[in-house]
Structure 1
Amino acid sequence: MTKDVIALTPTMPDVRTLLAGLYAGGPDLTVRTTADGAVVQLCAPDGRTLLSVEAPVLVQVPGEVERLLGAVPALPDGPVWWTEARASTAVPEAEQLAASFAGRLATVLDGTTWPSQAVTTAVVPVPSGTDAPPETEGIPPAVDVLTEQAAIVFQDRPVVAMTSWLSDALRTAITSDRALQIVTPGTTRLTLPARAALGGHPHRWVVQDGEDGYYDGLSGAVLHWQGDSFAPARTTSAGTPVAAAFADRTDSGDRQLVLSLRTRHPADEHLVLGRALEAAWHHITGAAPAGWSTAEPVNHPWTTRQLTDLARRRAPQPTWFTVVGHPDRPALATLRVTRTTAGVEEEMTLAVGNGAAEDLPLGAVLPLAEALSAPEHGLTSMLATVHRARRDLTVPAHIEAPPVPVSFTLGPDAVQDIGLPHARRPPLDLLPAPVGPTARPALHYPLGDGTDPQTWTALRGLTHHLRAGS
């Protein structure tokens, strides 16, 4: 198990400052690097890892620290350097060592720490030997336990984000044919990118619960440790019980407008990615995105050019991005760019949070469909749904109502492939609105106002009809 501590400083920690922090354990400890030099590890005399420190990240996007950590006392104004350390709790002194490391950086560089109590600068003596079992060779810094079936990560944070640590753990799990299992307290919430990563089999969010022991934070299934991973408990009737804590929820009235978009573009040197997402952001929130990154915290100010350059360098491998909005208007998107035989495809999901007293921007969806139907956006499809979920766009460990469809838009090329006469006459009480250029229109199908779950039936009927024509 590990404990995370973060130093937040207005100045980048240089080598001398980092070394001063690492000497919090005294002169007998050793230092090594891993992850191609991106992680520095402080080790006990017997070779056991005590502390792993990731390379500092400059977070230039306003509100990003608060989104992931909550209110942080004495947080410096403006951009901050985020230096994260993970302490192994296999050695009791390691957690104090992490606090001293972060406290020294904050003291020297006029910054602060998260958690705020991690402000000590004292030297932490570490015993020369421990009773813990030998460390397994090749375990990434983010993984606490590696078994034949699972890579297990313990996180004691208010919000678990898709950090580079967690991305590394997920990559390790996938490449070794294991499940990623993240174990958290019941009060922890996931960001939408972390929830998307854990939403596919066999990965799992394992929530600690005093009544039922453990349960799955996304399905509510009671879990037991079986063999070398967490798995659903079985009753005598072969069913899986659901934890009482998962079903315990109160509807706050918060809602999210969620847009799922797909685009396709010819692969040429003039292509700029992210423009469809930027257009959606403007129509729904009235502003451009604030920042982008390949992990959380999101640290780069928004720019379609740099995003495109990175995706081009990584091609033909896919690239996955997280995009965030400004703090006063909760909005977050994931964007996956893939090179295919048909061209370059973008798959994106944009979620915008609304409080109980705020109006959902449903009136912006049709104008957005019109704008995205322009040839330069390459729209394939767009599904708009309303989700009764938190305004801050985090996912709690309890049941949430499923999203409800609002509209579906079929892009111009897809309409041509299906045939305009067939696409505009579904066998339902739906009247699609043609949008975009008259010669090659897209079709926008209104489904409802986001309050009637029966619109899923209409959507299924529509998609069945459209597939029959393709």
Structure 2
Amino acid sequence: MTKDVIALTQRMPDPWAMLAGLLSGGPDKLVDTTGEGAVVRLCDAEGRPLVSVEAPLLVQVEGEAERLLGATPPPLPYWWTEARATTGVEHAERLAGTFAARLATLADGSAWPPEAARSLAVVETDDVTVAPTPAAARPAVDVLTDKVAVVIQDRPVIAMTAWLSDAFRTAATAELGLQIVTPPGTTLSPAVRDSLGNWPSRWVMRDERDGYYDGLTGAVLRWQDGMFAPIASPEATPEDPRTPLAASYQDATATDERQLAVTFRAVHPADESLVLGGALESLWRELTGGPPAGWGTAEPANLPFSPRQITDLARERAPEPTWIVVVGTPDRPGLATVRINRTKAGVEEEVTLMFGYGADEEPPLDALHSAAELLATRHRLQSMLVQLRKARRDLAVPPRFEGPGVPVGFVLGAEEVHQMPDDRARHTPLPQPPLPLGPKTRPAMYYPFPGDPSDLTGWQDFERLMRHLKSA
């Protein structure tokens, strides 16, 4: 049975009253709120969390339930309410499923997955109590060691939900890795993949042939020394610590679908007139013809895209960083993660953006030059790298090998060009000279590359360019 259940309803639910009504022990004993009322958690007599219920989220962005759950939601706007049951406790799984079923019935909606929310019966709650402090202050994990926190997820797309984002933050604060264990057939949202780069955090796939393997690298894994770690190949040596690759990871199939990936950094003066998100919106419009559809501080993205609201949130959280996710429309898959930091240089935006294209769709490579010039002249661009790769149109990250991207273009901002001595930014070892962007007296530079996804030699030219620009 699944560990996560979700109610998608037309009317705003009252999950706190609903949860109390499900339990035989009574709401005074069993129900409490944490996170300023955002989460209800129940624990057993030993203090172990059984079920966590998130505050209902009003979704105003088309396509998020389809993208993340493969479910058909009510018409926009609708309410998204998640309940997570602790893995391996049947009592908890039944409680979460019954909660979602009742919520869907009373608030006019549906529950996902349907098989997890069939019973409306009251669940016995002997020895269940509210989560004590500090247990209520941290998300429930399935295994906790002195090295990692392990969570088991069973949903079609592992998204950066509010719960999972909290788990990442809690693990990082405790100096632990976060390892996500999933069954075959699962994919990752790019937002989660980008958060798994720090060892020993991993995406752990269950597999019939090899037991467990890393969904991003293919390394066969075993539980050892308190965490999932790669096993050593018989041919491994201290100089070459190779590990075997899972057969499932190597079951890659050729695809004509492609992804266009853009990473850029912009630095703005920290003044009252600053509006964040404008650079991303401008780039999105240049490459798709329209603005982003929605944004949020987690997935699903629930709010219509608004640079003003993004700016207000970043100001409210400063000097702490702000992380958001931005999504496109169902007919043009797009997803960006944005990290906003206040630094001595000003306010920095670090953006990772990707769009997906089918076999009969052409990525807008001809628009890259004008898009780069727009960012360089109006949005204080520092640098930008554009890549093209053969990968899924829907942007989901599969647990198998996908070829790397190849560079299509690199942009160096006007201030960075100006600070380089000897006109180094203009005279490079590349066969094609850079294209100036903006005013002739203080231009940015655009460095084009061939951008053939089947030819990785473009990275050699990119490395030559980087060595040249960084040389003393």
TM (normalized to structure 1)? Answer: 0.93
> In structure 2, what is the equivalent of residue 274 of structure 1?
277
> In structure 1, what is the equivalent of residue 320 of structure 2?
317
Q: Could you say if the C-alpha distance between residues 144 and 301 of structure 1 is closer, same or farther in structure 2, counting changes exceeding 3 Å?
A: same
> In structure 2, what is the equivalent of residue 387 of structure 1?
389
Structure 2 Cα separation of the partners of residues 229 and 110 of structure 1? 43
Native 8 Å contact 1:26 1:125 kept in 2: yes
Report the Cα offset of residue 2 of structure 1.
7.0
The correspondence of residues 167-316 of structure 1 with structure 2, limited to 5 A, is 167-238=165-236, 239-316=242-319
> In structure 1, what is the equivalent of residue 57 of structure 2?
57
Native 8 Å contact 2:189 2:396 kept in 1: yes
Structure 1 Cα separation of the partners of residues 32 and 16 of structure 2? 13
The correspondence of residues 97-136 of structure 1 with structure 2, limited to 5 A, is 97-126=95-124, 128=126
Between stretches 455-464 and 111-120, larger displacement belongs to 111-120
Structure 2 Cα separation of the partners of residues 180 and 163 of structure 1? 15
* CA distances 1:322-365 after superposition (whole Å, capped 9, x unpaired): 11111110011011111111111111011010011111111110
> In structure 1, what is the equivalent of residue 239 of structure 2?
none
The partner residue of 1:421 within 420, 423, 437 is 423
Structure 1 Cα separation of the partners of residues 365 and 88 of structure 2? 51
Native 8 Å contact 2:19 2:31 kept in 1: no
SS in 2 for 1:215: strand
Q: Which amino acid aligns with 1:88?
A: T
Q: Which runs of 5+ in 2 are unaligned?
A: 237-241
Structure 1 Cα separation of the partners of residues 35 and 244 of structure 2? 41
Report the Cα offset of residue 127 of structure 1.
6.2
Report the Cα offset of residue 245 of structure 1.
0.5
Native 8 Å contact 2:336 2:353 kept in 1: yes
SS in 2 for 1:262: strand
Structure 2 Cα separation of the partners of residues 264 and 127 of structure 1? 54
Q: Could you say if the C-alpha distance between residues 233 and 47 of structure 1 is closer, same or farther in structure 2, counting changes exceeding 3 Å?
A: closer
> In structure 1, what is the equivalent of residue 437 of structure 2?
435
Q: Which runs of 5+ in 1 are unaligned?
A: none
> In structure 2, what is the equivalent of residue 352 of structure 1?
355
Native 8 Å contact 1:337 1:345 kept in 2: yes
> In structure 2, what is the equivalent of residue 39 of structure 1?
39
Report the Cα offset of residue 466 of structure 1.
1.1
Report the Cα offset of residue 21 of structure 1.
4.1
* CA distances 1:242-274 after superposition (whole Å, capped 9, x unpaired): 111111111221100111111111111111111
Structure 2 Cα separation of the partners of residues 69 and 433 of structure 1? 44
Native 8 Å contact 1:296 1:322 kept in 2: yes
Q: Could you say if the C-alpha distance between residues 50 and 96 of structure 1 is closer, same or farther in structure 2, counting changes exceeding 3 Å?
A: same
Identity in percent = 53
The partner residue of 2:90 within 73, 89, 92 is 92
Report the Cα offset of residue 186 of structure 1.
2.1
Q: 2:340 aligned with 1:342, yes or no?
A: no
Report the Cα offset of residue 137 of structure 1.
4.4
SS in 1 for 2:195: helix
Report the Cα offset of residue 100 of structure 1.
1.1
> In structure 2, what is the equivalent of residue 333 of structure 1?
336
Structure 2 Cα separation of the partners of residues 264 and 20 of structure 1? 47
Report the Cα offset of residue 314 of structure 1.
1.3
Q: Which amino acid aligns with 2:168?
A: L
Structure 1 Cα separation of the partners of residues 306 and 134 of structure 2? 42
The partner residue of 1:160 within 158, 161, 166 is 158
Between stretches 99-108 and 37-46, larger displacement belongs to 37-46
Report the Cα offset of residue 227 of structure 1.
2.5
Q: What value does the CA root-mean-square deviation take over the aligned residues?
A: 2.1
Structure 2 Cα separation of the partners of residues 409 and 207 of structure 1? 37
* CA distances 1:87-119 after superposition (whole Å, capped 9, x unpaired): 124431221221111111111111111112344
TM (normalized to structure 2)? Answer: 0.93
Report the Cα offset of residue 420 of structure 1.
7.2
Q: Could you say if the C-alpha distance between residues 350 and 293 of structure 1 is closer, same or farther in structure 2, counting changes exceeding 3 Å?
A: same
Native 8 Å contact 2:49 2:140 kept in 1: no
The partner residue of 1:460 within 441, 444, 463 is 463
Structure 2 Cα separation of the partners of residues 127 and 297 of structure 1? 31
> In structure 1, what is the equivalent of residue 4 of structure 2?
4
* CA distances 1:360-391 after superposition (whole Å, capped 9, x unpaired): 111110111121121x3001111110011110
The partner residue of 2:24 within 1, 23, 26 is 26
SS in 2 for 1:220: coil
> In structure 2, what is the equivalent of residue 71 of structure 1?
71
> In structure 1, what is the equivalent of residue 365 of structure 2?
362
Structure 2 Cα separation of the partners of residues 47 and 437 of structure 1? 64
SS in 1 for 2:424: helix
Q: 2:86 aligned with 1:83, yes or no?
A: no
Q: Could you say if the C-alpha distance between residues 32 and 467 of structure 1 is closer, same or farther in structure 2, counting changes exceeding 3 Å?
A: same
Q: Which amino acid aligns with 1:386?
A: L
Q: Could you say if the C-alpha distance between residues 83 and 226 of structure 1 is closer, same or farther in structure 2, counting changes exceeding 3 Å?
A: same
* CA distances 1:112-134 after superposition (whole Å, capped 9, x unpaired): 1111234435224336369xxx9
Structure 1 Cα separation of the partners of residues 195 and 111 of structure 2? 28
Native 8 Å contact 2:3 2:85 kept in 1: yes
SS in 2 for 1:166: helix
SS in 2 for 1:244: coil
Structure 1 Cα separation of the partners of residues 424 and 249 of structure 2? 45
